[in-house]
């Protein structure tokens, strides 16, 4: 590699969102290590990983949706209803393996419904998924009447609470999902179609790509990952909790935006989404350790989203002026 090529590669790396997030994450980690006594405690770090795992899995699917030009506000409720239905079937004596399949299919089904309603009825994703969020959350309350559905399954509890050495088993799902979704996003025809739709849907349709089918698959995939997160959360809580998945809609969107995916669609990064979720998780954990009121954590998340979008917008404007 000659010096010019090396310099160009180095400049691209330094300009990439992923490297920028890693630098910010490193700086915040150093600050928290000096301002708190327990941040680098093994138990605290493992707790951060557990919290980030669920958000990252959901946000990986959200990355595809937002890149395609849509948005899914129902992911948290789909996570919750998948967990509740699985727990309900387990208490009815259904084999655990079959109940797990039902959980994943439930998430996929709700995502599929989102895709069908959006593409067949030409409804905005915001409206459809907002309505689906209410439907799923309402069904949760109808089934549970507001009470958790306790389960007794060593397999599911092992997935949510077990460890492989010191590593939580549920945390192992995060890199597996990220690797698969990163490959699907960047190295397949399907991923190219998703980005093309987000960039220019009309041109993509005129080029012969079945836009409706791609969108249905995207929303179904997002639902599947929400179902997977619901499975892991059930194991972690040892129950189907009616409050499971609350705020996951905002958290997943925040992770996607902070990670570098354009809210307008057409460009995204699954690895960036994981780093965005990790960054937000560390900030939230740091606020807890600093005894900041829990309500301010939500304020901080919203402020970060606005700040990132503002920076993105200013960067675009500067780019246009230089052209």
Ramachandran sector of residue 72 (left: φ over 0; alpha: ψ -120 to 50; beta: rest): beta
pTM for the predicted model, two decimal places? 0.90
For residue 168, give its domain range. Answer: 39-312
Residue pair 301/254 in contact (Cβ under 8 Å)? The answer is: yes
Residue 105 has which token pair? Answer: 């299919």
Number of domains forming the structure of the chain: 1
Angstrom distance (rounded) from CA 21 to CA 189? 28
In a domain, 171, yes or no: yes
Residue 187 DSSP label: S
Nearest to 286 by CA among 18, 45, 53: 45
For the domain that residue 73 is a member of, what is the CATH number? 1.10.3470
Q: 227 lies in a domain?
A: yes
Position 15 in a domain: no
Q: Spell out the per-residue pLDDT of the chain, length 323, in tens.
A: 555 554 454 445 445 677 878 888 888 899 888 888 888 888 888 889 988 999 999 999 999 999 999 999 999 999 999 999 999 999 998 999 999 999 999 999 999 999 999 999 989 999 999 999 999 999 999 999 989 999 888 899 998 888 888 888 999 999 999 999 999 999 999 999 999 999 999 999 999 999 999 999 999 999 999 999 999 999 999 889 999 988 899 899 999 988 888 888 888 899 999 999 999 999 888 888 888 887 787 787 778 777 777 776 666 555 555 55
Could you give the CA distance from residue 199 to residue 57 in angstroms, rounded to a whole number? 24
């Amino acid at each position: 590699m000659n010096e010019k090529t090396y310099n160009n590669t180095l400049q691209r790396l330094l300009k990439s969102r992923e490297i920028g997030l890693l630098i910010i994450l490193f700086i915040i980690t150093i600050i928290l290590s000096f301002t708190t006594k327990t941040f680098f405690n093994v138990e605290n770090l493992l707790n951060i990983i557990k919290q980030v795992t669920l958000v990252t899995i959901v946000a990986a699917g959200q990355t595809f949706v937002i890149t395609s030009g849509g948005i899914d506000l129902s992911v948290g409720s789909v996570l919750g209803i998948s967990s509740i239905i699985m727990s309900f079937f387990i208490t009815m004596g259904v084999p655990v393996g079959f109940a797990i399949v039902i959980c994943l299919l439930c998430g996929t089904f709700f995502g599929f419904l989102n895709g069908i309603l959006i593409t067949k009825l030409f409804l905005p994703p915001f409206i459809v998924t907002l309505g689906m969020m209410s439907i799923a959350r309402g069904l949760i309350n109808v089934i549970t009447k507001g009470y958790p559905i306790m389960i007794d399954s060593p397999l599911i509890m092992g997935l949510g609470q077990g460890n492989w050495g010191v590593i939580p088993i549920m945390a192992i799902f995060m890199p597996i999902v990220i690797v698969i979704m990163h490959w699907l996003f960047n190295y397949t025809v399907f991923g190219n179609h998703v980005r093309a739709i987000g960039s220019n849907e009309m041109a993509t349709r005129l080029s012969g790509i079945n836009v409706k089918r791609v969108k249905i698959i995207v929303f179904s995939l997002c639902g599947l990952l929400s179902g997977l997160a619901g499975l892991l959360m059930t194991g972690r809580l040892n129950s189907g909790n009616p409050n499971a998945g609350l705020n996951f809609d905002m958290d997943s969107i925040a992770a996607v935006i902070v990670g570098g995916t354009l809210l307008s669609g057409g460009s995204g990064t699954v690895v960036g989404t994981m780093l965005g979720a990790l960054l937000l998780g560390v900030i939230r954990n740091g606020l807890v350790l600093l005894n900041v009121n829990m309500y301010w954590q939500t304020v901080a998340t919203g402020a970060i989203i606005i700040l990132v979008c503002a920076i993105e917008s200013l960067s675009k404007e500067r780019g246009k002026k230089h052209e």
